[in-house]
Amino acid sequence: MAAISNPVPGGSRNSAGLVPPEPVEPVTSGQAPGGAGAAEPGPRGSGLGLLSRFRPGRGVVMAIPYGWLLLFFLIPFLIVLKISLSEAQLAIPPFTPLTETLAEEGRTVITLFWDNYRRLTGDDLYIIAYLNSLWIAFVSTIFCLLIGYPVAYAIAKADPRWRAPLLMLIILPFWTSFLIRVYAWIGILSDTGLLNNFLMMLGIIDSPLRILYTPTATYIGITYSYLPFMILPLYATLEKMDNTLLEAAADLGCPPWKAFLTITLPLSIPGMLAGSLLVFIPATGEFVIPELLGGPDTLMIGRVLWSEFFNNRDWPVASAVAIALLLFLVVPIMLFQNVQGRQQEAGRG
Amino acid sequence: MPKSWFLRIGLVTGLLFLYLPILLLVILSFNANRSVAVWSGFSFHWYRELFNDQQLLSAAWLSVQVAFVSATFAVVLGTLAGLMLARFGAFRGRALFSGMVSAPLVMPEVILGLSLLLLFVSLEQLTGWPEGRGMLTIILSHITFTMAFVTVVVQSRLVSMDASLEEAAMDLGARPAKVFFVITLPIIAPAIVSGWLLAFTLSLDDLVITSFVSGPGSTTLPQVVFSSVRLGLSPKINALATIVVAIVAVGIIIAGIYNARQERMRQLDEKMAAQG
């Protein structure tokens, strides 16, 4: 019970079902074969959980986090929606109120200002930025998958003694600063940077390649920063896989590559999906990486939102940009919550 | 190590990709020269400059304070939320609640930052609180987005833990609150510690949300780092990176030793139990 076998405190910036299962299974009665199901006559998770018997306390316990999230998470979105329909003005705060009380008639008038959205659809800049963000996030997700899959597979197939330290190595970069890790690539990719010097030293190129401040640098930065998010859920799925299937395939004369393609790969789809969503969704709205590595022509929607807000001080348009981005991401986010919910159910054993 | 060569190469490539940039920063922090490509001797020059930068130091102090307070509140809220999701079964509004808890895990930070700022502005208009933007609004925002991570860590521990201990205590007549503090809390304590550290790190590292909700006079460390690296290379930041890596490495080593000791004790306990 005492074994926190995840050696890194905290594990990962990850969702529950996606946290890699503990490599060394602690022996507890609940986890003994057949124990989990048999030992409990089922109160857990069935709505009759132990704390649910204590009604008044339960109410208090529930009210605090529920209230907090309503106030600081849900209501803010409604405010963004509201302000996206107001008009910018030079004042504090820099937008018009939607409702106006007409003194002489004594009634309240609501004016919805749709121009912010018309601007989004009318100006190529926004459309290009949205499409570009989705494309950059998609390509980076593919790169993460290509690099992350062999790593996750190798760790899952490694000797159990090696798994915990290897996983720790994957998680460790999380604990150093994200900003600083992105910054490291400036020194590597710049014209006088390490990569160019190295390639010129080898005689592969004569003049420095322009990588920094191009979309290529953005792909590299996103792939690098989000790679662990891909590896961890992939590992969790691959590690749980039933090896007897592969043995059976081998016994029946199936070559390893074919067994991989027909057994391992399809069975690891949930992990691939979870990892891809964990990379794709935040990468679409990424601001720091295109800003530091991408150069002025790497248009991503996170940067557009930022500059509308901070440079143009146009809060209503920034809000409309945010709402539109959310609309793009609604489907992936729901998919993510669905995948996560299913993994959680599976985690119950 | 895995047996196949292909997998070995894949693993090593992946790890090199993750670690070379960090290693590079550590090496460069001791370079007397500004340039990345020229090594002109070992020097502590950039460390001296780092520790003479008053703006950076005061920003770092603010960040540590914010992270400490945020992580502490996030742990309380996240533990309660984890408890609700893992133990309360199907309560009313559960779908909405679990949606609100897990959305910040993937939600782009620009959206979270903007929405929180607009909330604070609207609240101030309506109620006069919070007055302006500063440390308080940063802390409130950090609690909100880090509690999601705490919830996930605590919830997964609760789900995987053996509930029969709690049930036994209930059967013996313990009140739920007592069961929680005497049985559940000690068992999930490692997850709570992990959650706190995770929330602390995330808060310390956050740039985007902070930029939206901070005011003049409350500049955090990532904001200072960002404004200096935005202009290109800044070797002081290499020194800062090295210090961060050193702190993390020491923390990991301590955690590793602690875990190894716990593991040995557990094995000893098991042996004793088996014998007798």
The more confidently predicted of residues A89 and B122 is B122
Those residues whose C-beta lies under 8 Å from the C-beta of residue A60, and which sit 6 or more positions away, are none
The more confidently predicted of residues A323 and A105 is A323
CA distance B150 to B136: 21
Domains of chain B (ranges, CATH numbers): 65-216 (1.10.3720.10)
CA distance B25 to B22: 5
Domain locations along chain A: 60-113, 124-347
Which residue has tokens 């059976």? A248
The more confidently predicted of residues A319 and B92 is A319
Identity of the residue in A52, A282, A309 whose CB atom sits nearest the CB atom of B106: A282
pLDDT of residue A31 exceeding 70: no
* First CA to last CA distance, chain B: 38
- Disruptive mutation site among A48, A62, A143, A301 for chain B (greatest number of B CBs within 10 Å): A62
pLDDT of residue A21 exceeding 50: no
Which residue has tokens 């290529």? A216
Does the CA dihedral A203-A208-A213-A215 come out positive or negative?
negative
B residues 218-257 lying closer than 8 A (beta carbon) to A? 222, 225-226, 229-230, 232-233, 237, 240-241, 244-245, 248, 251-252, 255-256
Which residue has tokens 């930041």? B237
Which residue has tokens 């529950």? A16
Does the CA dihedral A130-A131-A133-A137 come out positive or negative?
positive
* pLDDT, chain A, mean: 79
Those residues whose C-beta lies under 8 Å from the C-beta of residue A213, and which sit 6 or more positions away, are A293, A294, A295, A296, A298
- The residue type found at A342 is R
3-state secondary structure of A226: helix
pLDDT of residue A3: 34
Q: How far is B266 from chain A (nearest CA, A)?
A: 7
CA distance A96 to A242: 60
Check B205 against A318: CB less than 8 A apart: no
B67 touches A: beta carbon within 8 Å: no
| pLDDT tens per residue, range A224-274 | 999 999 999 999 999 888 888 888 888 898 888 888 888 889 999 999 999
Dihedral angle computed from the Cα positions of residues A61, B104, A85 and A105, in that order, rounded to the nearest 10 degrees: 10
Phi-psi region at B89: left, alpha or beta (left = phi > 0; alpha = psi -120 to 50): left
Compute the average pLDDT of residues A300-328: 91
- Those residues of chain B that have pLDDT short of 70 are 1-3, 232, 276
pLDDT of residue A99 exceeding 80: no
CATH number assigned to the domain with residue range A124-347, chosen from the 4 options 1.20.59.20, 3.20.20.70, 1.10.3720.10, 3.40.50.970: 1.10.3720.10
Per-residue pLDDT band for A79 (boundaries 50, 70, 90) equals very high
Exposed, middle or buried by CB within 10 Å (0-12, 13-18, 19+), for A251?
exposed
User: Under a CB-based contact definition with an 8 Å cutoff, are residues B145 and B112 in contact?
Assistant: yes
CA distance B227 to B245: 21
Per-residue pLDDT band for A5 (boundaries 50, 70, 90) equals very low
The more confidently predicted of residues A56 and B147 is B147
* Core vs surface per residue B208-245: b (16+ CB within 10 A) or e: bbbbbbbeeebbbbbbbbbebbeeebbbbbbbbbbbbb
Can you name the residues that pair with A95 across neighbouring β-strands?
Answer: A88
- Disruptive mutation site among B13, B96, B115 for chain A (greatest number of A CBs within 10 Å): B115
B residues 122-181 lying closer than 8 A (beta carbon) to A? 122, 125, 140-141, 143-144, 147, 149, 152-153, 155-156, 159-164, 166-167, 170, 175-177, 179-180
| pLDDT tens per residue, range A276-301 | 999 999 999 999 999 999 988 888 99
Work out the angle between the directed axes of helices B135-160 and B94-106 (0-180°, nearest 10). Answer: 110
pLDDT of residue A106: 63
User: Under a CB-based contact definition with an 8 Å cutoff, are residues A336 and A278 in contact?
Assistant: yes
Torsions phi, psi of A100, nearest 5? -135, 130
**ipTM greater than 0.85:** yes
pLDDT of residue A16 exceeding 60: no
A89 touches B: beta carbon within 8 Å: no
CA distance B232 to A182: 12
pLDDT of residue B170: 87
* Core vs surface per residue A171-204: b (16+ CB within 10 A) or e: bbbbbbbbbbbbbbbbbbbbeebbbbbeeeeeee
Which residue has tokens 């903007």? B114
3-state secondary structure of A110: strand
User: Under a CB-based contact definition with an 8 Å cutoff, are residues A83 and A93 in contact?
Assistant: no
Which residue has tokens 């933007």? B133
Number of neighbouring beta carbons within 10 Å of residue A82: 18
| pLDDT tens per residue, range A183-210 | 999 888 988 888 888 888 888 888 888 8
